[in-house]
Chain A
Amino acid sequence: MNGPILLGAPGCVTPLGASLEESFAAMHAGHCGLRPEPFPGSEAPVHVGRCDEAVLTGGGRRAQRLLGAAVRQSMGGLARSLRTLPRTAWVLATTKGDVRALEEGRPGDAELPRFASRAGIALDLPGAPIVVSNACISGTLAIQLAADMVRYGEMDHVLVTGLDEATDFVLSGFHCLHAIASGPCRPFDDARDGISLGEAAASLVVTRDAGLFRHGPIATYLGGAMGNDANHISGPSRTGEGLVRAVDAALQQAGLTAAAVTHVNAHGTGSVYNDGMEHIAFSRLGLGHAPVNSYKGYFGHTLGAAGLVETLLAVHGLRQGLMLRSLGATCSATLPGIDVLHTHRPTAGRTLLKTSSGFGGCNAAILLRA
C-alpha cells in the first residue's frame, strides 16, 4: 500500500487525565498534575506527577494496568482488530518497565523482555514485543522506528506504546544526582532548577491504511532521525551536536527546511543544562521562528513514555489550532533567539517538530503534520 504514513487511535493516561482529551483539557485550563510528597532521604518534599489509581483497571502488575489503560483506548479507536491483521507489530518504549518487581526483590521479573512478553499476552497485543529502551528518547524513537517499518514495507501496521512509572527507584536516582527541582519543574524558565518526575502510558497506531482508524488519522508522519552527542553519558552536549544532527536528518527525510516547522514541542526537562542545550541546538538549526514549549511543567518527565505522550498532546493541540504555553516558564530572557510559549497561542501552521534527548547522549527528532 502506498500513501502517507499515518498516526491515529491515540490513547493515554497522564497525571492530568484518563485520556488524551481529558489531559489536554486540564492543561488548557492551566492545571498542574505535580504534587508535593515526602521523599525518604530528602528534607524537602519533591513534586511528582502520578496517575489516578482509579483509572488503572484490569488485572496484573501496576505497570501493566497503566499500559492497558492506554492501549484499550487505542484499540477502541480502530475499525478492525489488530489481532486479525497480518504484518502487524507491537513496539513498547520504556526505560524501566515494571521496576517495582526489582524493588520487591524479584529482579528477574524486572527484565524488560520478560515484562513485555507477559504484558503482551495479558493485553492480547499483536506479535512479539519490540522493546525500545533508549533512555528518555524511547517514546519518540519508537514512533520513528514504527514509521520506518511502514515506510520500508517491513510491516503494514504498528501499535506503538510507551510506559514508565514514577517509582522510588527513579526518584532516588535523580535525587542523588541533585537533579530534582525545588518545586514543580519550570522548563525554559530562567529560574529553572531541575526536573520533576511523572508517570504516564500512551499508545497510537502507525499505518498507511486510513480506513483502520474509526475516527480518522490524527497526523501524517513526515520524517525522523536520531543522533548521538558522543560527549557525556549523563550531561547534554554543550553544542547540541546530537540534537542538531537528529533534526537535520529528520528534515532531510521529510524534504523540509527548518523554515517549514511551525511548532516545536521540545524535551524541556527544566534542568539548566538540558534546556540550555536545546536553546543552542534550536538556534543553530534556525528554528527561532517556531514557538517552543515543553509539557513537563504540567505533569513531569515521564521518561520512556514522554516522547509518545507529548507527541499526542502536541498533535491534539495543533488539530485545534492551539499551542499550549510552557507551564512554569514566565521569563526566558537568558534564552534569546527562541520563541518560548509563555501563553497559549493560536498556531499559524500544523507542522510539528518533536524532539527528545536522553542519558547516554542520545537525541531523537520527528516531524509530523497534524
Chain B
Amino acid sequence: MKPLAHSRLEPGVFTLDGTPIAAPKGTPDEALRTCYQALAMDYPKFHKMDPLAKLAVLVAEPVLRVARERGADLAGSTAVLALGSSGCLASDVEHWRVRQATGLASPAVFVYTLPNIGVGELTIRHGMHGPSLCLMTEEPDTAEARMAARLLRRDPRVRWLVCLWTDIFADRFEARAVLYGPEDPWTDPAHPTALFPSTP
C-alpha cells in the first residue's frame, strides 16, 4: 500500500515524493530555517516553536498541501499519528538547564516539554480538530505503530491519515511524513506492511 504523498527531512535532504524541496545544511536550527524559507510558509508563530515542533510542522507541510489539493477535509476528517523516540528531550534539557542556572524556569520553554506539542502546533496551523495520537516508539515502523494507524482509520470521522516520525536531539534530526487517503479502508490486519516508504 503506497501513501498518497510522503516527505522526508534530515541533514541534506528535504523531499516530497523523492523530489527535492531544499537541501538543509548546518546546525539543526539553520537547516530547519532553510526548509521554512523553501516552503515560503509566512507563518510567524513558527519562529517561537521548539525544535521538535518546527520539525513536525515542516515535514508535514508538503503532504498537507497535497491533502488540500486532493480535497481533504483537514478540519474534520483528518487524523494524525505522531511517532518519535526522543520526543521533546531537547526542550526538556533546556528547561532543566534554565531551572538550574537561574532557580526559575522559562514559560516559553516549558510549554514545549511534552511530546505532543508539535502535533498541537500542527493542528493549530491547519485547523485540524480530528483525533491525534502521540506514541513514543524506538523506531518509526513498529507493529504497534501500524496497529495504531489502523485504529485511527477505524474512527468513523476519519478519512485521511497523516503519520509523522519526528526525532531531534542535539545535532541529529530526522523526520518523515506520509499521507493516506480514504480509498483504502485498512481493515486487513496485514496492512499496512510499512507506514513509511523505504525509498526516497
- A252 and B157 CA atoms in complex are apart in Å by 11
Partner of B154, one of A41, A131, A148, A358: A148
Q: Does B30 contact A (CB under 8 A)?
A: no
Please tell me the number of chain B residues within 8 Å of chain A, measured between CB atoms: 53
Q: In the assembled complex, which residues on chain A have CB atoms less than 8 Å from the CB atom of B15?
A: none
A-B contacts at CB below 8 angstroms, number:
160
Instruction: Name which of B6-14, B21-29, B32-40, B129-137 contacts chain A.
Output: B129-137
Q: Does B71 contact A (CB under 8 A)?
A: no
Smallest beta-carbon distance A280→chain B, Å: 16
Are A145 and B148 neighbours in the complex by a CB distance under 8 Å?
yes
Listed residue (B87, B132, B136) with the most chain A CB atoms within 10 angstroms of its CB: B136
Q: Does B4 contact A (CB under 8 A)?
A: no
Smallest beta-carbon distance B126→chain A, Å: 8
Using a CB-CB cutoff of 8 Å, which residues 199-256 of chain A contact chain B? Answer: 225-234, 241-242, 245, 249, 252-253
Using a CB-CB cutoff of 8 Å, which residues 57-106 of chain B contact chain A? Answer: 75, 85-87, 89, 92-93, 95-96, 99, 103-106
- A64 and B41 CA atoms in complex are apart in Å by 43
Q: Does A195 contact B (CB under 8 A)?
A: no
Q: Does A173 contact B (CB under 8 A)?
A: yes
Q: Does A99 contact B (CB under 8 A)?
A: yes
Q: Does B19 contact A (CB under 8 A)?
A: no
- A103 and B115 CA atoms in complex are apart in Å by 18
Q: In the assembled complex, which residues on chain B have CB atoms less than 8 Å from the CB atom of A132?
A: 133-135
A132-B133, A175-B105, A177-B111 known; A362 and B151 CB under 8 Å?
no
Using a CB-CB cutoff of 8 Å, which residues 112-159 of chain B contact chain A? Answer: 112-117, 119-121, 123-124, 126-138, 142-144, 147-148, 150-151, 154-157
Q: In the assembled complex, which residues on chain B have CB atoms less than 8 Å from the CB atom of A358?
A: 114, 116
Partner of A176, one of B110, B121, B132, B135: B110
Are A172 and B105 neighbours in the complex by a CB distance under 8 Å?
yes
Are B128 and A228 neighbours in the complex by a CB distance under 8 Å?
yes
Smallest beta-carbon distance A91→chain B, Å: 9
Are B136 and A131 neighbours in the complex by a CB distance under 8 Å?
yes
Q: Does A153 contact B (CB under 8 A)?
A: yes
Using a CB-CB cutoff of 8 Å, which residues 172-200 of chain B contact chain A? Answer: 189
Q: Does B44 contact A (CB under 8 A)?
A: no
Smallest beta-carbon distance A65→chain B, Å: 21
- A145 and B155 CA atoms in complex are apart in Å by 11
- A109 and B118 CA atoms in complex are apart in Å by 22
Smallest beta-carbon distance A258→chain B, Å: 18
Listed residue (B89, B106, B142) with the most chain A CB atoms within 10 angstroms of its CB: B89
Partner of B99, one of A134, A168, A232: A168
Are B87 and A111 neighbours in the complex by a CB distance under 8 Å?
yes
Q: In the assembled complex, which residues on chain A have CB atoms less than 8 Å from the CB atom of B143?
A: 128
A111-B89, A173-B105 known; A131 and B150 CB under 8 Å?
no
Kindly supply a per-residue 1/0 record for chain A positions 66-95, scoring 1 wherever the CB is within 8 Å of any chain B CB and 0 otherwise. Answer: 000000000000000000000001000001
Q: In the assembled complex, which residues on chain B have CB atoms less than 8 Å from the CB atom of A110?
A: 89, 92
Q: Does A102 contact B (CB under 8 A)?
A: yes
- A66 and B92 CA atoms in complex are apart in Å by 22
Q: In the assembled complex, which residues on chain A have CB atoms less than 8 Å from the CB atom of B114?
A: 95, 133, 135, 358-360
A133-B116, A175-B105, A360-B119 known; A111 and B86 CB under 8 Å?
yes
Pairs A–B under 8 Å by Cβ, sample size 29: A41-B104, A96-B113, A102-B89, A107-B92, A110-B89, A111-B86, A112-B87, A112-B136, A113-B138, A130-B144, A131-B137, A132-B133, A132-B134, A133-B114, A134-B134, A135-B116, A152-B150, A154-B189, A172-B104, A173-B105, A176-B104, A226-B131, A226-B132, A233-B111, A233-B124, A242-B129, A245-B129, A252-B156, A360-B119
A contacts, CB < 8 Å to B:
40-41, 89, 95-96, 99, 102-103, 107, 110-113, 116-117, 128, 130-135, 141, 145, 148-149, 152-154, 168-169, 172-177, 225-234, 241-242, 245, 249, 252-253, 358-362
